A and B are shown apart, each in its own frame.
Chain A
Amino acid sequence: MSSAVNGNRALQELEQQVQTLLHRDRRNLTMVRLREKGIFVGLIGCGLFSLLITVAIVFVLASETVTFFQFPEVTLSNFFLSTDWTPLLGDTKSFGIWALISGTFLVTAIAMLFALPLGLVTAVYLSEYAPRRVRNTLKPVLEILAGIPTVVYGFFALMTITPFLQWCYSGFNVYNTMSAGIAVGILCFPTVCSLAEDALQAVPTRLRDGAFGLGGTRFDATVRVIIPAALSGIISAFLLAIARAIGETMIVALAAGSRAQVTLNPGEEAQTMTGYMVQIAGGDVSNFGIEYYSMYAVAFTLFAITLSLTIVGNHIRRKYRETYD
């Protein structure tokens, strides 16, 4: 009799335990759901922050540029049509952005003259020719080149390249676009090289094998098959490198000089857009004067140019990618 009572009680206790467990589980489940929701919302916040950055860039640049154009000394036609950039010259201020754009493009052109061919050829070598051992040593070297701060390249341009150029030909100014361009080229070389190499590596091995099977040499395979197949990736690598060269700041601030002028002579000094911003930020101009706001107008121009290059580059890579699946 007592054993039956005991058994009953044990059963009840067990049931109670099961109930509490179930209850706790349910509570846990709600907690888990809440936590999942909370974390997801937090992550969404992180994601939206990156969108906010873009919105903030556009908003800040646009609003301050509008303030710049509201100054009586500035006119739209002067900004977009003139080639005189003399914002610090007391009475004869002129804000012709083309002077800065031409300086930027001269430096970029010189840089690309070095970086694009050398980068492409090195990428072809790394991807198609190099034995694995060479590849494994060269890639870290390129990574080190890519990790060197730009101010070091600026120092290199001013202290090593410029004296060397002056030794070769005495017509070079102390500040000249040639040495800045060469340094920017060295800076962009790893970018071109690793992006182009990625594009070449993405070409399926069957295409190479097909070219070899038809009796082609490695050179034939590279030039006739692999480079055309990887062309979209290579062009996008080039565009991204150009965007990087246009936005490069410290090298041109140190080596290209601070006189804004339209020139094609690489031995003369020429100010770039980024160089002007550094000159204004590093100097002591009044915080809310016209020079201060001109910095925003230049930044807006720079942002528009680099952003369109980046967008076109990424678009080409995505849209015109040859797929072989």
Chain B
Amino acid sequence: MSDTEPSKIDHEKSDPPEKRATRVDKGATAAGQSSVPFERPQLLTTDARIKKDIRFRRMCIITACTSILILAFLLGSILTAGIPTLSWTLLTGSPEPEPENAGLWPALMGTLWVCAMCSLLTLPLGIGTAILIEEFTPRNKVAKKIFNLIQLNITNLAGVPSVVYGILGLTAFVSMFSLFDKSENSLGPTFEVGAVYYDQFSNLASDPFVDTGGADVPERFFLLPVESRNAASVVPRTGMLAYENGESGLTQVDIIAIDPLSEQPSTDPDQLSRTIDNQSTPGRISENQWYYLRLPFGRGVIAGALTLMLVILPVIIISTQEALRAVPATLREAALGLGSTPWQVVWNVTLPSAVPGIMTGSILAISRAVGETAPILIIAGIVYIRSAPQHLMDDYTVMPLQIYNWTSRPQEEFHNIAAGGIVVLLAILLSFNAVAVLIRHRMQNKLQ
């Protein structure tokens, strides 16, 4: 065993092919795997050392196998718990309190919104920074110092724990350094666009003290528009036009307002269903347009996207830098020699050849954003979200956060649907990874 082993090791080592070729050329042996290149003197010390080498090699193999086994065990234990719970409800339902009806839909859409926004924000910024550092290296000393500082800073930012970015996002995006909190009321945001406020009244059908004359009057809700979130509530008067939230959106209704203590409502069912108590206190609700914007951002999608941007920005910068560095300098020099300006070189030569590398790095960075939990947990907290976000300021939850929420509950059933959620999440991430590997593979083939 110890006779053949060393030569086998020699051949198995991962030398570059040209080196192996020269070894064969030197003519000791051209027969390949099985032959021994030279007669090794049988020294005792050598034997002991070779045995040690073999032992170490075996230990290495065992360790490497352990890492695969751990991965297999991890995936196996999650798959066995998760796959039985996979169902249509899990994908399309909302996170109900009963585990059998609970689903991931709001979290899935939240992840989609946050990560799409995050990549839109991060990609230009990250690629721009990488281009600046790699392609616009300055000649004078002060500028060089600043560039080195930026580079060092990016390396250090990559090592900052994501939970710290969550804390930064909480102050910088959610409450915006409390800069906008100077007004008297701290109930709502200081500045907003795209929100319409209504006071909501219900008709007299819900009032048990009103005599409806035996007619079956359906309960209806009427909305009266008000100026702003903090405006005084409207006093309804007969003849006012109110909105009713029907099946086909808002419809206008002519309302009748009376004081039921002193007036007897009409007994006509149609009129009665349009009659409201002018003394009742309404509820203030808001209709937000798709372009709804408020400052500070609060716990909306945009705050999550900006916070995740901080997390993955260094990752995208570093991977883009590597992709740009891999472009041969001869291409740049040729373009410069033809009279191109620095930006023309970047735009027409460097970037096109670096695109596959940049895409691979970006996809991996975005998949990191998809799986990131801690910063989102810090800024959004654990809230019960029943529907997908509708605009950039809407409340949201993301998949890892939903999984965390389910895992941290004591009931066994929630643990099982958490495993189901993990299977969905891993499927998404693995498909991301597969796309990245595919792009890298195609790029390697093209370069060859």
Are B157 and A149 interface neighbours, CB within 8 A? no
Q: Are A125 and B60 in contact (CB under 8 A)?
A: yes
* 9 pairs, A vs B, C-beta closer than 8 Å: A39-B343, A50-B129, A50-B150, A121-B59, A121-B63, A150-B374, A219-B57, A249-B163, A277-B378
The tally of CB-CB contacts under 8 A between chains A and B is 271
| Identity of the chain B residue whose Cβ is nearest the Cβ of A295 in the assembled complex | B167
Q: Is the CB of B377 within 8 A of A155?
A: no
**11 additional contacts, CB 8 Å, given A46-B129, A50-B313, A310-B156?**
A35-B343, A36-B341, A50-B129, A130-B14, A147-B364, A149-B425, A218-B13, A244-B159, A247-B163, A281-B166, A306-B160
A262 / chain B contacts, CB cutoff of 8 Å: none
What are the interface flags for B1-45 relative to A under an 8 Å C-beta threshold, 1 for contact and 0 otherwise?
A: 000001001001111000100000000000000000000000000
Question: Please, how many angstroms separate the alpha-carbon atoms of A309 and B381 in the complex?
Answer: 29
What mask results when residues 244 to 281 of chain A are scored 1 for a CB within 8 Å of chain B, else 0? 10111110011000000000000000000010011001
Give the shortest distance, in Å, between A124 (CB) and chain B (any CB). Answer: 6
Stretch of A17-25, A57-65, A81-89 at the chain-chain interface = A57-65
Check A57–B78 contact: CB distance below 8 A: no
**Contact indicator per residue, chain B 116-158, by CB within 8 Å of chain A (1) or not (0):** 0000000011101101110010000000000101101111111
Question: What secondary structure prevails in chain A residues at the interface with B?
Answer: helix
Interfacial chain A residues near B381, Cβ < 8 Å: 281-282, 284
- Are A152 and B425 interface neighbours, CB within 8 A? yes
Bound Cα distance from A99 to B163, whole angstroms: 19
Closest to B407 in A: A155
Q: Which of B66, B171, B342, B381 has the most CB of A within 10 A?
A: B171
Chain A interface residues toward B at CB < 8 A: 32, 35-36, 39-40, 42-51, 53-54, 56-57, 60-61, 64, 118, 121-122, 124-126, 128-132, 134-135, 138, 140-145, 147-156, 158-160, 186, 189, 193, 205, 215, 217-220, 222, 240, 243-244, 246-250, 253-254, 274, 277-278, 281-282, 284, 295-296, 299, 302-303, 306-307, 309-311, 313-314
Contact, CB under 8 Å: B49 / A219: yes
Selected from A46, A47, A144, A307, the residue in CB contact (under 8 A) with B156 is: A307
Chain A residue numbers with a CB within 8 Å of B57 are 125, 129, 218-219
A211 to chain B minimum Cβ distance, whole angstroms, is: 12
Q: B19 contacts which chain A residues (CB < 8 A)?
A: 205
Say if the beta carbon of B161 comes within 8 Å of chain A. Answer: yes
Interface-centre pick from A60, A250, A306 (highest chain B CB count, 10 A): A250
Residues from chain B with a CB closer than 8 A to the CB of A309 are 159
Rounded to whole angstroms, the CA-CA distance of A274 and B378 in the bound complex is: 10
Please determine whether A56 and B159 come into contact, CB atoms closer than 8 angstroms. no
Assess the A249–B161 pair: CB atoms within 8 A: yes
The closest CB in chain A to the CB of B76 belongs to A160
**For the complex, is B422 an interface residue (Cβ under 8 Å from A)?**
yes
Q: Are A56 and B133 within 8 A (Cβ)?
A: no
Closest Cβ of chain A to B268, distance in Å, is 49
A132-B14, A159-B81 known; A310-B70 Cβ under 8 A? no
Q: CB distance A247 to B160 under 8 Å?
A: yes
Contacts of A143 in B (CB 8 A): 433
Bound together, the chains give a CA A149 to CA B354 distance in angstroms of: 28
Chain B 404-448 interface 0/1 with A at a Cβ cutoff of 8 Å (1 = within): 100110000001001100100110011001000100000000000
Residue of B nearest to A277 (CB): B163
B136, B159, B374, B377: which contacts A310 (Cβ < 8 A)? B159
Complex: chain B residue closest to A305, CB-CB: B161
Which of A151, A160, A277 contacts B371, CB < 8 Å? A151
With known contacts A50-B154, A160-B77, A217–B63 Cβ distance under 8 A: no
Number of chain B interface residues as a range: 35 or more
Question: Closest CB of chain B to A175's CB: distance in Å?
Answer: 11
What's the Cα separation between A47 and B147 when bound, in Å? 8
Contact B167 A189 (CB under 8 A): no
Nearest B residue (CB) for A158? B407
Whether the Cβ atoms of A50 and B373 lie closer than 8 Å is no
Are B63 and A281 in contact, with the CB atoms below 8 A? Answer: no
* Given A36-B342, A53-B157, A303-B164: A281 in contact with B129 (beta carbons within 8 A): no
Contacts of B404 in A (CB 8 A): 151, 154, 250, 253-254
B61 touches A (CB below 8 Å): yes
CA gap between A159 and B437 in the complex, in Å: 31
Q: A47-B150, A121-B63, A147-B368 are in contact. Are A220 and B53 (CB under 8 A)?
A: yes
Would A131 and B14 count as touching, CB distance under 8 A?
yes
Q: Mark B337-354, 1 if CB is under 8 A from A, else 0.
A: 000011100000000000
For residue B237, CB closer than 8 A to chain A, the reply is: no
Query: How far, in angstroms, from A189 to B67 measured CA to CA in the complex?
Result: 9
**Chain B contacts for A49, CB-based, 8 A:** 125, 129
Q: In the bound complex, what is the Cα–Cα distance between A156 and B71 (angstroms)? A: 11
B261 within 8 A of A: no
Task: Point out the residue from A53, A122, A126, A306 that lies within 8 Å of B310, measured CB to CB.
Answer: A53
The reply to whether A60 and B168 form a contact with Cβ atoms under 8 Å apart is: yes
- Tell me whether B329 is interfacial, beta carbon within 8 Å: no
Q: Is the CB of A217 within 8 A of B64?
A: no
Q: Does B90 contact A (CB under 8 A)?
A: no
Query: B150, B166, B373, B377: which contacts A149 (Cβ < 8 A)?
Result: B373
The answer to whether B50 and A122 touch across the interface, beta carbons within 8 angstroms, is no
Given A159-B81, A254-B407, the answer on whether A314 and B156 have CB atoms closer than 8 Å is yes
Closest to A37 in B: B343
Whose C-beta in chain B lies nearest to the C-beta of A299? B167
Name the interface residues of B195-249: CB closer than 8 Å to any CB of A.
Answer: none
* Residues of the A chain whose Cβ atoms lie less than 8 Å from the Cβ of B388: none
Closest residue on chain B to residue A54 by CB atoms: B153
Q: Are B167 and A277 in contact (CB under 8 A)?
A: yes
Q: How far is B422's CA from A149's CA once the two chains are assembled, in angstroms?
A: 9
Contact yes or no, A141 B171, CB < 8 A = no
